[in-house]
Amino acid sequence: MFKKILIANRGEIACRVIKTCKKMGIKTVAVYSDADRNASHVEMADEAVHIGESATAKSYLVIDRIVEACKKTGAEAVHPGYGFLSENKKFQEALAAAKIAFIGPDAYAIEAMGDKIESKKLADKAGVSTVPGFLGVIKDVAHAKKISGEIGYPVMLKASAGGGGKGMRIARNESEVQEGFERSQSEAKSSFGDDRMFIEKYIEQPRHIEIQIIADRHGNTLYLNERECSIQRRHQKVIEEAPSPFLDEKTRKAMGEQAVALAKAVDYVSAGTVEFIVDTKRNFYFLEMNTRLQVEHPVTELITGLDLVELMIRVAYNEKLPIKQSDVKINGWAIEARVYAEDPYRNFLPSTGRLTRYIAPKETANVRVDTGVYEGGEISVFYDPMIAKLCSYGKDRAEATAHMRAALDAYYIRGVSHNIPFLASVLGKKRFESGELSTNFIAEEYPQGFSDKDLPAEDSSKLLAVAALVHNTYARRAASISGQIPGHGRKVPSAWVIVTKDGDKTVETPVSVAADEGANGTVTIGKKTVDVITDWVPGQPLFTAVIDKKPVTIQVDRKGTGYRLFSAGAQMDVHVYTQREAELARLMPNKPPPDLSKYLLSPMPGLLVSLAVKEGQDVKAGEPLAIVEAMKMENVLKAERDATVKKIHEKAGASLAVDQMILEFG
Ligand code: ADP
Ligand code: ADP
Ligand code: MG
C-alpha cells in the first residue's frame, strides 16, 4: 500500500480524506495557504507544506507547488478531493510525469466527461437514456429558436462547458429563447472561456437522482445505489439523501446498470457519479458525470457501510475491489445537510468572520459531522463558506429526519451567520416529510424567500418553561453567593412573569416554578404543567432535557438582562421578572425597534466600491444596488423586494462598518 499520501485540498474534504488514511495506516501530507496556516487539515496531517498566498489561484490551484510538495515530502500519491484540481487534466499529466499516483480516474475519462455535448453523445452511444434534444452546437439565436421549436417548449439552454449551475436557463417560449440564449452564452464565455451552447427538453417537476459508481483496473465496475439531491437552491444542492424516496427496485437497477455502462465506455476507474434527471413517471435521463468524489458521498457510505475514500485509494494502488455487485446493500436511510456560513434572512449572503463559539453535535451511530473548522477559527472570504456537512442516519426516512432535526438543534455556532434556521425549516416542512421532492421544492415552498414565518410552529410553553427554569437557577445561585449567612439568603420566589414580544406587542405570561437544586422541575403556565428533566448547569449554552417525556435540545444565550432561546431554527427573546420587576418593566417606555427593511445595510465591513442606483430610482427585487468589497472579494448587494430609493447615505469609496446604512428606501 502507499506509505504516504498528499491531499491537494483544504477544509472538510481534506480532513475527511486524512481520517481514512489514518485508519489505513498511511502517512498524510497537507498543503496550505497563508490563510490556512492554523487550519484543521494542517493540524490533522502528519506533515504540512505551505504552498502560497491565500487566493486559490496562488496556492491550491498552482500545479507546480503541489508537485513540488510531493517531491519534498516523498508522497507517492495525491488525493485531490473535490473542486480545485480534481478534474484538471494538466494536473494529472504533471503528476504522471513526476511518477506520482493520482487517486481518481484517468485523464481520458475526465476529459470525455468534462464536456456536456461530448459526454451526452458518448452516453447515447453506450445505450444510456439522455434528455431529448439536439446533440450539437447551436450556432446563433435563429438556430436556437428553430431547434427549440422542434424539441417543444419548455427547453433548457445549456453551456457545454457548464458547471455549478452557470450558463443554464429555462425557456418556455420563443421570446425567452431570444432573451436567454445570448445571456447564457456570454455567461458561459466569461465563466468557462467556452461559449458552445446546446439545447435539450426541460423536464417538468424534475428530481435530481444520481448514481454512485466505483471501478477498479481489473474490469470491475459497481453501482453503489443512488442519492437524491432534489433540494437545490439555484441549481446547487442543499440537502441530499440516500436512498431516494422515489425509486423502485426496477428503476434503481436500470439506472445503476446504465451508469455502469457509461463508466465502462470510458474505461472509468475510481469513484464517480452519474447524474440523472427523473420525471414524475420515473423516466430518467442522463445529465452529466462528475469524475471525482462528490460532496454528498457520506450518505452513500452510511447506507452501504463502505468507505469510498478507502476504495479510491485501494483501486489507485491497483488493488481489486473487495466487493461484488451482489454485496452492495441498502441498509437504513441517510440525510445530509450542508451547513454554510451565510445569512438565510439576507438572501443567503455569504458571511465571514471568526467562529467565536462553535459546538458541533456529538457524533454517534446516527450522526456524522464532516467539518474542517474549529472554535476560534475563521471563515475566510477566500474559500467556499461551508462549515460542515451534517449527516444523519436511521433505520428509515422518518428516523433519519428526526436525528437530523435533533442534530440541527444541538449545532451551536456563533460569530458568523449560518443557514441552520433554514435547514431546520426545510426538514420541518410537511412536503419534505412526505418525500414529494422536486428541484422546485425551495422555489415553491419559499416563494417570498426565507423568513421567520417559515419556521416550524414551536410549542412555546416548552421554551417558556426552559426560560423560567434557567432564570430560576441563576437567581437561586445569585441569592446563595452574596456572602450571606447560610439559611438567611435572599428568598427566590416561585412565581415569575415571562415577558416576550409578539411583533410590537409585549406579552406577559405568569408562571410558577417548582424545581430541585438543579434545573429539574415542573413549570406551571396557566392550566398547563411542563415537566423538565435535565442535567443543565449555569453557563452551558445547550439546555439538553427531556420535556414532557420527549428529548429536546434548546440553545440558551444570555442576552443583556434576558435570554435568547433557539429551537428548531426559531428564536425567542425573553425576560423573566419577579412580580415587582414586571410592574417596573411596565413603566419603561416601549421603544419600537427600527424597521430595518427600509434600509440597505452593509452586511460586512468593507469598501463601498460603487452604487448602481440613484435617489428616486425604482428598483425591482434582485436588481443590484451596490458593490461592497471585503478582503479582495466583490459582493453585489441586491434589492430584496421592489422599492424606491429615497436617500443615499454613503458615496462610492466610503469605508463601511458592518450594518452601516448605505441607502434608504421610500
Ligand atoms: P455538482 O458537481 O453536481 O454540482 P457538488 O455539490 O458535488 O455537485 O459540487 C458542486 C461544485 O462546486 C463542484 O464542481 C465542486 O467541485 C465545487 N466545490 C464544492 N465545494 C468546493 C470547495 N470547498 N472548494 C472548491 N470547489 C468546491
Ligand atoms: P452542473 O454542471 O451545473 O451541475 P447539470 O447539468 O448537472 O449542471 O444541472 C444542474 C441542475 O440543473 C440539475 O441538478 C437540475 O436541477 C437542473 N437541470 C439540468 N438540466 C435539466 C433539464 N433538462 N430539465 C430540468 N432540469 C434540469
Ligand atoms: Mg451537476
Higher pLDDT, 373 or 587: 373
- Cβ neighbors of 189 (< 8 A, separation 6 or more) are 195
- Of the ranges 268-277, 514-523, 596-605, which is most confident? 268-277
Residue 180 in contact with residue 171, Cβ under 8 Å? Answer: yes
pLDDT bracket for residue 445 (50, 70, 90): very high
Instruction: Output the ligand 2 site: residues, CB below 6 A.
Output: 131, 156, 162-165, 200, 202-203, 206, 208, 232, 235, 275, 277, 287-288, 439
Average pLDDT over residues 274-280: 97
* Total count of residues recorded for the chain: 666
Nearest atom in ligand 2 to 202's CA: 24
Cβ–ligand 1 distance for 192 under 6 Å, the answer no
Q: How confident is the model over 1-42, as pLDDT tens digits?
A: 999 999 999 999 999 999 999 999 999 999 999 999 999 999
Cell numbers representing residue 349 in the block: 449572503
User: 349 pairs with which residues across the strands?
Assistant: 343
Q: Where are the alpha helices (DSSP H) in 7-115?
A: 11-24, 40-44, 63-73, 89-97, 107-114
Is pLDDT above 60 for 487?
Answer: no
User: 275 pairs with which residues across the strands?
Assistant: 210, 288
DSSP 136: S
Q: Give the pLDDT score at 603.
A: 81
Is pLDDT above 90 for 352?
Answer: no
Is pLDDT above 60 for 486?
Answer: no
Is pLDDT above 70 for 484?
Answer: no
pLDDT bracket for residue 175 (50, 70, 90): very high
- The radius of gyration computed from the CA coordinates of the chain, to the nearest angstrom, equals 28
Cβ–ligand 1 distance for 295 under 6 Å, the answer yes
Is pLDDT above 70 for 531?
Answer: yes
The torsion region of residue 34 among left (phi > 0), alpha (psi -120 to 50) and beta comes to alpha
Is pLDDT above 80 for 205?
Answer: yes
Residue whose CA lies nearest to ligand 1 atom number 6: 295
Active site residues per annotation: 288
pLDDT bracket for residue 560 (50, 70, 90): confident
What ranges make up the beta strands (E) of 219-350?
A: 221-233, 236-242, 270-278, 284-290, 333-340, 342-343, 349-350
205 alpha carbon to ligand 2 midpoint, in Å? 12
Is pLDDT above 60 for 559?
Answer: yes
160 alpha carbon to ligand 2 midpoint, in Å? 12
Nearest atom in ligand 2 to 162's CA: 2
Q: Which ligand is nearest to the CA of 295?
A: 1
Higher pLDDT, 633 or 517: 517
Residue 333 in contact with residue 400, Cβ under 8 Å? Answer: yes
Residue whose CA lies nearest to ligand 1 atom number 15: 83
Of the chain, the percentage scoring pLDDT greater than 90 comes to 79
Average pLDDT over residues 133-152: 95
Q: Give the pLDDT score at 458.
A: 67
Higher pLDDT, 597 or 46: 46
Is pLDDT above 70 for 377?
Answer: yes
Average pLDDT over residues 141-155: 96
> Which domains does the chain carry?
4-103 (3.40.50.20), 132-201 (3.30.1490.20), 207-454 (3.30.470.20), 460-479+492-585 (3.30.700.30), 599-665 (2.40.50.100)
Count of CB atoms within 10 A of residue 488's CB? 7
Is pLDDT above 90 for 592?
Answer: no
Q: Give the pLDDT score at 261.
A: 98
234 alpha carbon to ligand 2 midpoint, in Å? 10
Q: Give the pLDDT score at 561.
A: 81
Lowest average pLDDT, out of 113-122, 295-304, 463-472, 651-660, goes to 651-660
pLDDT bracket for residue 582 (50, 70, 90): very high
54 alpha carbon to ligand 1 midpoint, in Å? 19
Ligand 1 pocket mutation, candidates 9, 60, 82, criterion most atoms within 8 A of CB: 82
Q: Give the pLDDT score at 150.
A: 96
Q: Which residue has the cell 459508481?
A: 213
Q: Give the pLDDT score at 633.
A: 65
Higher pLDDT, 432 or 353: 432
Q: Give the pLDDT score at 640.
A: 83
Q: Which helix (H) or strand (E) holds 297?
A: helix 297-304
Average pLDDT over residues 577-595: 82
Residue whose CA lies nearest to ligand 1 atom number 17: 83
Q: Give the pLDDT score at 287.
A: 95
Does residue 298 have a cis peptide bond before it, meaning omega lies within 30 degrees of 0? Answer: no
Q: Which ligand is nearest to the CA of 158?
A: 2
Ligand 2 pocket mutation, candidates 277, 291, 437, criterion most atoms within 8 A of CB: 277
DSSP 166: T
CA-based nearest residue to 165, from 88, 85, 229: 229
Residue whose CA lies nearest to ligand 1 atom number 13: 83
The Cα-based distances of 33 to 11, 178, 295 in angstroms read: 12, 44, 22
Q: Which residue has the cell 480534481?
A: 86
Q: Rounded distance, CA 661 to CA 93, Å? A: 51
Average pLDDT over residues 646-650: 94
- C-alpha dihedral (589, 591, 592, 595), degrees to nearest 10: 170
Q: Give the pLDDT score at 40.
A: 97
Residue 257 burial by CB count (10 A; 0-12/13-18/19+): exposed, middle or buried? middle
Average pLDDT over residues 462-473: 95
Q: Which ligand is nearest to the CA of 440?
A: 2
85 alpha carbon to ligand 1 midpoint, in Å? 11
Average pLDDT over residues 398-417: 96
Average pLDDT over residues 124-152: 96
Q: Give the pLDDT score at 480.
A: 75
Q: Give the pLDDT score at 621.
A: 85
Q: How confident is the model over 92-101, as pLDDT tens digits?
A: 999 999 999 9
Q: Which ligand is nearest to the CA of 294?
A: 1
Nearest atom in ligand 1 to 12's CA: 23
What's the angle, vertex CA 135, arms to CA 133 and CA 136, rounded to 5?
Answer: 125
Q: Give the pLDDT score at 148.
A: 97
Q: Which helix (H) or strand (E) holds 180?
A: helix 174-192
Is pLDDT above 70 for 482?
Answer: no
CA 576 to mean position of chain CA atoms: 36
pTM for this prediction: 0.88
Higher pLDDT, 570 or 405: 405
535 phi, psi to nearest 5 deg: -115, 20
